[in-house]
Structure 1
Amino acid sequence: MIDWMQITGLGVIGEATVDLDPGFTVVTGETGAGKTMVVTALGLLLGRRADAGAVRRGSRRAAVDAGVRLPADHPALSLAAEAGAVLDDAGDGSADLVLSRSVTTSGDGTRSRAGLGGRAVPVGVLAEVGSALVAVHGQNDQVRLRSAAAQRHALDAFGGPQLVAAAAAYRADHTAYVAARRERDLLVERRQERAREAEALQRGLEEIDRAEPEAGEDETLRALIRRLEDVEELRAAADGGHAHLAGPDIESGDDLPGAITLVESARAAVQAAPGDDPELAAAAGRLAEASVILGDIAADLARFSADLDGDAVSDLDAAQTRLAELSRLQRLYGPELTDVLAWAEAQRPRLEELQGDSGRIDELEADLARLDASRRERAADLTTLRTAAAGRLEQAVTAELHALFMPDASFHVSLVPLDGGDPGPHGAEDVALALRPHAGAEPRPLGRGASGGELSRVMLALEVVLAETDPVPTFVFDEVDAGVGGEAAVSIGARLARLARRVQVIAVTHLPQVAAYADRHVRVEKNSDPEAGVTTSDVVTLGQQERVDELARMLAGHGDSAAARAHARELLEASAAERA
């Protein structure tokens, strides 16, 4: 609900703060005082188009701020939080939110700004939040239930838990059916393409499986190839090193001793020294170690040379052939060998999926037959429940219209089968709400075929009936009593009060019979200064005696009439007794 609203520089209102009742607040005032500026201000907060003409004469800026309090789980608060609004915890399971809108005029045009919870937001976001907060019914306002989706939702909600559950069950089946059909159609449409993909995958995986590559194998092969290409030089280097260490072969005829022999001779010479000198003993030990190390190196070089004695040419050919095979796989599925192995691992499940297309299509066909039968059965149940709910809604709203002194009017709910006979996302039919304003006329969609005042009464009747099942927190009725008076006005006031038991109601009226039913009475007062050429309006909340004066003014044209004042008190007492 809206707690308060502050208006600055809007129309004839210079600055005013309006405190609103959680139940029924009525706005009255003399003609031209600016009553509709309250509705205009609410419209700005709901994201309506900003009109530079609404900015007060002599001002450059009009601004409207409002504080709303809603249950913490209300969808409007979620929308506001997503937009970055700051919410104030009220401590009783509800939260407070501030909405703001300003319109600035200057030489280069009109600028409009919107805010939620202290954060600047696009006007569209303000409109989205506002649509979940307030429904405005006026002679120039759109009907809340104009869209087919809103009308269907209203009927389903009116139908009660059984209809809501049936609609949810149908939507679940229909969603599953559409998903299965989409998958089936995609598989059938892309069957040849998927078959080609499967063939290419299988060919690639077979190539990789035949090659049986191992991670790092290509680097090992490159090292082997470099070795085999230099085999003679490697052998000569190893043999030369071995000869210098161990001495030349006998066949060579060279009698130069090797390094090992020289080291052993040096050790023998050191050990031949007389006595037991510790330094010489240490030197002899180190020479012994050097002899062992040199012997190990000589053995390694001999072994290295012996290993090169194989068929180096054939080994080189084999290594180069293998490397070429791996390089081809890397070009196709690499770039690295590890990437080739990873590709193969990732594509095996995809190949299994593609090869299972035929079986999957058969499964989906079976699922589609089952889901289609189920959703058609649920659609039929949904139609039956909607038909019953439509009849009840027609009767209830028509009764309200008659009570609102539209005796020849009737309300109609039509279930229109979808073209082609195939159920859609929400059932087998569209829901259409229509009004027949008088006998002999054809029912016409809401918003057509009725005057502004009639339409407001139609929406009042409909909202009263739907209040328990499909409410928004706040309803605004602008001139809902246009063109009526007397007993009809009393009936309108009573129904506004009845609606206010469940939601907040704000009504702009010129009829005292309606105003008498309000929980809070707000008057817009016009103050003129002809010499200065300025007219201003104030918004004040009336006390009990002030209400009597205002109702008397509305009855007699002025508040000084004793008879009018007595009638005003009678209206207030009668409305209070009826509400009690």
Structure 2
Amino acid sequence: MLTALSIRDVVLIEALDLDFGQGLGVLTGETGAGKSILLDALGLALGGRGDSGLVRHGAGQAIVTASFAAPAPGGRLATILDDAGIAVEEGEPLVIRRQVKADGGSRGFVNNQPASAALLREIAPMLVEIHGQHDDRGLLNPRGHRMMLDGFGRVDTGATAAAWTTLREAEARLAEAREEIETAARDREWLDHAVAELTRLAPEPGEEETLADRRRTMQRSEKIAGELDAAETCLQGSDGALAGLRQAARVLERIGEDHPALAEALAAIDRAVIEASLAEDRLVEAQRELAYDPRALEEDEARLFELRGMARKHRVQPDDLAALTEELRGRLERLDAGEEGIARLEAAVARARTTYDQAAALVSQARQAAAIRLDQAVKGELTPLKLDAARFRTVVAAAEPSQWSAAGKDRVEFEISTNPGAPFAPLMKIASGGELSRFILALKVALAEEGGAATMIFDEIDRGVGGAVASAIGDRLHRLATRTQLLVVTHSPQVAARGAAHLLIAKSHDGTVTRTGVRPLSHAERREEIARMLSGATITDEARAQADRLIETA
């Protein structure tokens, strides 16, 4: 719901702050007072063209700020804003601001966060519906007619949507399988060769690292083999250290009792023998592990070269060759069993299409029934609105296959015939400005349960009518306003009398500058304004009395 509108330096409006409430609000004023400026300003805030011509003469920029009630958490509006990266705190109002510079360029903001004009235009239909003779959105756009009919008729498209998703997924799997088989068939010779080559190589995960480590170990062994032999000779040779220690120990064992120091020397030599023996064991172990086998080194290097060459050939890492082998082998197997697999997928698509067709047919039946009820509901609204010669119909027809969707196979469009015998055609192409507004009102009344934007604005819906028709329009607007916020720009006293709030748009001139202003009317001022609408420039007592009667019966 629109709660407030602030306008600065837009055309003839210097500064204007308005508050709005629930129900029916009417805006009146003499012709040329500037009612269109107010709607242009609101349209600017909702993503309209940022024309520098809207900036008041002498001002640097125009600013329009529109405040709306907090959007419902998790609703479509909140989701769109969240996807756009605009945070809206739960329960906080939605404030849209648009600035247009006199030298060109505009900027938009939602809750003080930058927002593009495209985003403002996207969320605008969820906030405000503006209906007038130049309106080309809302009820006049056939793209929304199916959704409106579904809302009116409580048409459940859940099963159709689920069947559509299943069908699309089945078709995608079939298309993918066909493409894979076609590609595999073109590459059959290459696949056969690649699989045979990889199978012969038989790569294993981690094999490259194992081979590389083993090669490095053997290369080191080749370099230190001589040093190891020399070390072994020093320990184990006839003149080696270990042999000398053992010989010294045997000598000391014979004379060790002759002096305590000799016993200590023997003990030290025994420890040295033990440590030297341990060193000898470790040296033998190292020689065994670092054994250098030229043939084994050559074989490992050849295998490593082959693995890395195959990896470069297939543009993968050596460790991925085993997985690649299985992948290519699987492609060959799927190619060999391709026709059987395609047949299964085709059968799945056929089943999914049958389910979708059946669900879509039920939805179509529900729409046809809803269309009959809607036509009758609209028909009942036409005569009071002086459209008794007109006919309305809801066309539910088969859409092109390319237009099938989760909502079914139907194309829905509202059409009218304004005169007996005249052909039916879309609303926009037949109705004149006044007729069009009244048709929209009739539709809105019939579709009242369907809902829509929280705020609706009708621009001079009563143009060219009066008396009973104007009263009928006022009655229907009043009924609509019990469900949503409704703002009406009107020249009809019958409509103005039904308003819960009355705003007067007036132009003033101080000899230098012309300004447009808007102010709420008190009860007495409202009576005078309605009397003016009834009698013209000269307000008579009779007009005031009639104004009182209209307000009392509203």
**1:292 CA drift (Å):** 2.9
Q: For residues 517 and 425 of structure 1, what CA distance do their matches in structure 2 show?
A: 43
Please give the alpha-carbon distance, in whole angstroms, between the structure 1 residues aligned to 2:227 and 2:376.
Answer: 111
Equivalent residue number for residue 578 of structure 1: none
Which of 245, 263, 266 is equivalent to 1:284?
A: 266
- On the 8 A contact 2:204/2:319 being kept in 1, the answer is no
Question: What does residue range 295-310 of structure 1 map to in structure 2 within 5 Å?
Answer: 295-298=277-280
Q: Where do residues 267-416 of structure 1 align in structure 2 (5 Å cutoff)?
A: 267=249, 272=255, 277=260, 281-298=263-280, 316-333=294-311, 339-345=317-323, 348=326, 351-352=329-330, 355-356=333-334, 357-416=338-397
Deviation, 1:186, is 2.9
Contact between 1:158 and 1:466, CA under 8 Å: does it hold in 2?
yes
CA shift, 1:193, in A, is 1.9
Q: Are 2:203 and 2:322, in contact at CA under 8 Å, matched by a contact in 1?
A: no
Q: Match for residue 99 of structure 1?
A: 96
Counterpart for residue 78 of structure 1: 79
1:301 Cα deviation after fit: 5.7
2:10 is aligned with 1:5: no
1:330-359 per-residue CA deviation (whole Å, 9 max, x = no partner) reads 332379xx9544442476367547634444
Identify if the C-alpha distance between structure 1 residues 178 and 344 changes in structure 2 by more than 3 Å, giving closer, same or farther: same
| Counterpart Cα distance in 2 of 1:306 and 1:436 | 103
Task: Say which SS state the counterpart of residue 428 (structure 2) adopts.
Answer: coil
Equivalent-residue separation in structure 2 for 1:482 and 1:424 (angstroms): 40
Question: 2:491 matched to 1:497?
Answer: no
1:85-135 alpha-carbon deviations (Å, 9 max, x no partner) = 453544xxxx411111121103xxx12111101112111111112121111
Contact 1:52 1:103 in 2 (8 A): yes
Aligned partners of 2:203 and 2:321 also within 8 Å: no
Task: Show the counterpart of 1:260.
Answer: 242
- 1:187 maps onto 2:194 in alignment: no
> Residue 212 and residue 443 in structure 1: after superposition, are their counterparts in 2 closer, same or farther (change >3 A)?
closer
The 1:302–1:34 alpha-carbon spacing in structure 2 relative to 1, beyond 3 Å, is closer
| Equivalent residues of 2:203, 2:307 under 8 A apart | no
> What CA deviation, in whole Å up to 9, does each residue of 1:474-501 have, x standing for no partner?
1111111111111111111111111111
> 1:567 maps to what in 2?
546
Q: Deviations over 1:140-179 (max 9, x none)?
A: 222313333311111111111xx2x2x2311221232122
Measure, in 1, the Cα distance between the counterparts of 2:387 and 2:164.
41
Does the 8 Å CA contact 1:418/1:424 hold for their aligned counterparts?
A: no
The verdict on how the C-alpha distance between 1:354 and 1:430 changes in structure 2, with shifts beyond 3 A counting, is farther
| Count of aligned positions | 544
User: Would the alpha carbon gap of residues 302 and 202 (structure 1) be closer, same or farther in structure 2, given more than 3 Å must change?
Assistant: closer
SS of alignment partner, residue 107 of structure 2: strand
In structure 2, runs of 5+ residues without a counterpart are none
Separation in 1, partners of 2:285, 2:530:
121
Match of 1:144 in 2: 138
Q: What residue is the counterpart of 1:115 in the other structure?
A: 109
Q: Given that residues 3 and 68 in structure 1 are in contact (C-alpha distance below 8 angstroms), is that contact kept between their aligned partners in structure 2?
A: yes
**1:401 and 1:407 in contact (8 A); partners too:** yes
Deviation for aligned residue 1:536: 1.3
What is the alpha-carbon distance in structure 1 between the residues aligned to residue 286 and residue 409 of structure 2?
Answer: 87
Aligned Cα root-mean-square deviation (Å): 3.1
TM-score, normalisation: structure 2: 0.89
Shift of 1:59: 2.1
2:499 pairs with 1:518 = yes
**Alpha-carbon deviation of 1:304?**
7.5
Q: Following TM superposition, by how much is the alpha carbon of 1:204 offset from its aligned partner in structure 2, in angstroms? A: 5.7
Cα distance in 2, alignment partners of residues 85 and 308 from structure 1: 67
Report matched runs for 1:123-134 at 5 Å. 123-134=117-128
CA contact (8 A) 1:412 1:435 kept: yes
Q: Give 1:202 deviation, angstroms.
A: 3.9
Moved more, 117-126 or 357-366: 357-366
Q: Secondary structure at the match of 1:368?
A: helix
Name the CA distance, whole Å, in 1 between partners of 2:410 and 2:459: 34
Q: Does the 8 Å contact 1:174/1:375 carry over to 2?
A: yes
Measured after TM superposition, the shift of residue 464 of structure 1 is: 1.5
Match of 2:525 in 1: 546
Kindly provide the CA deviation profile for residues 436-489 of structure 1, in whole angstroms up to 9, marking residues without a partner as x: 112122111121111112111111111111121132111111111111111111
Distance in 1 of aligned mates of 2:166 and 2:128: 35
Letter in 2 for 1:105: A
Q: Shift of residue 65 of structure 1?
A: 0.8
- Aligned mates of 2:284, 2:159 — CA distance in 1: 85
Change (3 A) 1:421 1:380: farther
The residue type paired with residue 59 of structure 2 is S
Q: Find the aligned partners of 2:193 and 2:124 in 1 and give their Cα distance.
A: 57
How far did 1:43 drift? 0.7
Q: What secondary structure does 1:21 align onto?
A: coil
Q: Residue in 2 aligned with 1:217?
A: 210
- Listed one character per residue, the Cα deviations across residues 56-87 of structure 1 (whole Å, up to 9, x for unaligned) are 22322221111100452342233234434453
SS in 2 for 1:190: helix
1:514–1:243: structure 2 CA closer, same or farther, 3 Å change rule?
A: closer
Higher mean C-alpha displacement, 503-512 vs 170-179: 170-179
Work out whether 1:157 is the aligned partner of 2:151.
yes
